[in-house]
Structures are given as structure tokens and as C-alpha cells.
Structure 1
Amino acid sequence: MSAVIEEVDRRLMPWRQELGADWDAYRNHVRRVLAFCDELHAISFRAPHTPVPSTTEEFLTAAAFHDLGIWSAGAFDYVPPSVELARQWLREQDRGDLRTLVTEMISDHHKVRRAGPPASPIEVFRRADTMDVSFGLVRFGVTRQRYSAVSKQLPDNGFHRRLVSLTIRRTREHPTSPLPMFKW
């Protein structure tokens, strides 16, 4: 887990000031999403040669940047700026080969319906984020015990409270478009 923490922090550190008081909340959300990706991967793949998501560039990058546009762009319509931050990171890392996949992972992480086969990276990421945002009400086969263990190890630190606050503000300001990040 320490290598995952280091890689998450390496991606997020340039945004620490923008994240401000939400640093620990967002950082743990990213880490929980990666842990839930690993849990879903364990359910879908039993082959020992398949790398766990939290060790791969595509999952680390998608997780670190998927909601960051909330803070970098100061907007609740944050998916496009989040995608752009991830693309910029991939360019800087000379990993343009992952641009399409990471873009889809971020763009579809709030898709209401499935975003692909259960074992696809896009769908694994969507499900992991859904697990975290729903407080584990939706777990896609991950046991309550595993969900609770991850949540205990990586506390919320006000992340969900921040989402509720942002949703209320967005609803007041844009009552006909309260949740622009969702798509069918």
C-alpha cells in the first residue's frame, strides 16, 4: 500500500494548495477507489499474472484526477477539467498510449448504466467510485466486511460531506442541471 500512497501523492502534490482543507478527504477518496478497484479485480480475475489495478498507470492516473476538476476549475461540472488534468499528466509522463483509456475511465465514472463488461478497466473504475460514493450501499459483489475494512483504513475525512455541500450549492445555482457529471 505504501507504493500506492506514494504514487497517489506524487500525482496530487501539485494540487495540494487548491485542495486545501479537502486534501486528506480527497486523497483518501482516491485511495479508497483504488482499493475497491483491487477488490473488484480480485472478484473478476483469479489469474496470478494479472496486475492489480492500484499498481497500474491507468488506474493510478484516473483515480488521482477523476474528481480533481472540482478544485482545479472551481466547478461542479468537473469531468472535462479532470480529463484535461489527466491528459496533461500522461503527456508529461510520456504515456500518451493511455490517453483514450484514462479519458474514458474518467468520463464514464458517473455513468448510470454499465460502461462495459464487468472486468473492463472503465467498468471496474466506475463500480469502485460508485461503491465509495454510495457508502457501500452498492458493492458489486464486494463483501460488507471488505468494504468496511477499506473504509476504516482510509477514513472519509469529510469527503462525502463536501460532496453534499457542493450538490446543494449546484442545485440552488442550476436547478435544471444539478448533477452535470452524470450521464446515461
Structure 2
Amino acid sequence: MAIETNHPLIEEILSDWKTRIGEEYTGYRGHVYRMFNFCLALRQCSEEEKTKLAIAACFHDIGLWSDQTVDYIPPSIVQAKRYLTETGQDAWSEEIGLMIEWHHKIRRHRDDRFPLVEVFRKGDLVDFSLGLFKCGLPKSFVDEVKARIPNAGFHRFLMKGAKEWFGKHPLSPPPFMKW
């Protein structure tokens, strides 16, 4: 499978956020592309599904910067839905909203109406875990994606946020974790 490293829609969406994301931009962009590639490898997608995955990938963690909060899933959904409204794609709001809402769910997400929700959850898990969880993807593919699309400090940025959260809330899971 070809590895996507420059998708026009992803570039267009993320370019609007480059200044707000700041020094973490390269790392976040890499995360978006790695998980997008993992999603595409997990399911043979139609062009419409690829577009939905690209949009969800761009917005799934954007609340970290739009609202500067560890409880970033709700504002990420707001930003995605705003984009969908502005681009005349309101019909996708529920599905993309669910993809973002459940992307850190620990257990499998079961919803026959929207199979991309589970694909998206798995794609993010592969990257978030640095490939420890492969969700059925070949190790060689995961390694190739990681080599072609550098981490650029993204996981270091996440660990900094986790350290701050657990320093203040040592017995509570972060609000973005879903069971």
C-alpha cells in the first residue's frame, strides 16, 4: 500500500491551523498522516470515506490548541463541525463527531451505521502506542509509516501534557479516555 505523505485536503485544513499550533505543528501533522495511513490500511475505503477520515484526522486533537485544554475532545468536535458546516458537508457531522469522540475508547466501538468510527479508533491507537498495538497491521507497514513520517516530538508533547495532568490529578484518568 502506498503511504500518503501529502494529501491536498489535509494540507488545506492544517494550513489554517499552523500558526495556532505553533512549534508542535510538524509533530501534529505527522501524527495526522500516520494515523490516516493506518486507517487506510485497516479498511479499503471509498473516496468519500477517505475524505471523512482526512477531515476527522485533522480535527481529532485540535482542541488541544483551539481551547488549550487537556479535555480537548469536545472542542475538537466543535471545530470539526464548524468546518463541515462551512464547507457544506453537514450531513457528515454525526459520523465525524463520533470518530473524534470515541478515538480514545479503550474497548472496541460497535456501531454498524458508522464503521469508520472503529477504523479511526484503531488508526489512532496504532500511532498513539508508537506501534505497540498494531490492530492487525503488519509490523513492516507500521515501521515503514513511522520511518517515512517522523514523529517530530509529538509523543514528547503528549507526555508533557500527561505529566501535568497526573501531577494535578494523580488518581484520575485524563478526561479524553473513554471505556
Q: With structure 1 as the length reference, what TM-score do the two structures score?
A: 0.89
Q: State the distance in 2 between where 1:28 and 1:113 align.
A: 25
**Is 1:92–2:86 an aligned residue pair?**
yes
Shift of 1:14: 1.7
**Unpaired runs of 5+ in structure 2?**
none
1:28 aligns with 2:4: no
**Counterpart in the other structure of 1:158:** 153
Report sequence identity in percent.
33
Shift in Å at residue 79 of structure 1? 0.1
| Structure 2 Cα separation of the partners of residues 120 and 164 of structure 1 | 30
1:144 aligns with 2:146: no
Cα shift at 1:178: 4.1
Tell me the SS of whatever aligns to 2:130. coil
Q: Which amino acid aligns with 2:109?
A: A
1:8 and 1:64 in contact (8 A); partners too: yes
* Distance 1:3-1:20 versus aligned 2 partners, 3 A rule: closer
Q: Taking structure 1 as reference, are residues 2 and 155 closer, same or farther at Cα in structure 2, changes over 3 Å only?
A: closer
Runs of 4+ aligned structure 1 residues displaced above 6 Å come to: none
Aligned residue number for residue 114 of structure 1: 108
Aligned: 1:57 with 2:51 = yes
Checking the alignment, whether the CA contact within 8 Å between 1:108 and 1:126 is kept in structure 2 is: yes
Q: How many pairs were matched up?
A: 175
| Aligned equivalent of 2:77 | 83
Indicate yes or no: 2:18 matched with 1:16. Answer: yes
Alpha-carbon distance change, 166 to 57 in structure 1, aligned in 2, over 3 angstroms: same
Q: Which residue number corresponds to residue 47 of structure 1?
A: none
Counterpart position of 2:67: 73
Quote the offset at 1:3 in angstroms.
5.7
AA at the equivalent of 1:70: L
**1:71 offset after TM fit, Å?**
1.1
Aligned to 1:168: 163
Q: TM-score, normalising length from structure 2?
A: 0.91
Q: Cα distance, 1:58 vs. partner?
A: 1.3
Which segment is superposed worse, 174-183 or 13-22?
174-183
1:21-41 superposed Cα distances (whole Å, 9 cap, x missing partner): 111000010000100001111
Tell me the secondary structure at the aligned position of residue 56 of structure 1.
helix
